Amino acid sequence: MDKKFPKDLLGAVNKKAGKNISEGSIKKIASGVTPSTLQSETQIRQLIKQVSAMANVPVSDDTVQEIVSAVKKSGMNLNSLESLVKMMIKK
């Protein structure tokens, strides 16, 4: 993940979550993401759960499945993690 987290993305995450999530909190989760994380359905689900818990925003099983499918279908890599976050914000 880019070392400089886009401020507009952080603002969008905070607005959607309705609480102030620090850049450090997001980077801590992102630092544990590897290319293999985005290839494993179990690990993608675990990542979604971590982000959901951090933001205190429940994510329905249907939404989790949509995100997992989109990640696996698109072959997202760490360079496009920002795209994943933006997709999740739209939900």
In this prediction, residue 62 carries a pLDDT of: 94
Which pLDDT value is given to residue 60? Answer: 92
50 domain residue, yes or no:
yes
Domain count, the chain: 1
Distance, CA of 9 to CA of 7 (rounded, Å): 5
Give, in order, the Cα–Cα distances in Å from 69 to each of 40, 44, 53, 86: 11, 10, 21, 15
> Is residue 1, in this structure, part of any structural domain at all?
no
What pLDDT is stored for residue 87 in this prediction?
Answer: 62
Q: The domain containing residue 57 runs over which residues?
A: 7-90
Q: Is residue 2 part of a domain?
A: no
Asked if 67 contacts 88 with a C-beta cutoff of 8 angstroms, the reply is yes
Residue 39 included in any domain: yes
Is residue 82 one of the residues assigned to a domain?
Answer: yes
**pLDDT on residue 41:** 92
Q: Which regions of the chain are under pLDDT 50?
A: 1-2
45 lies in some domain: yes
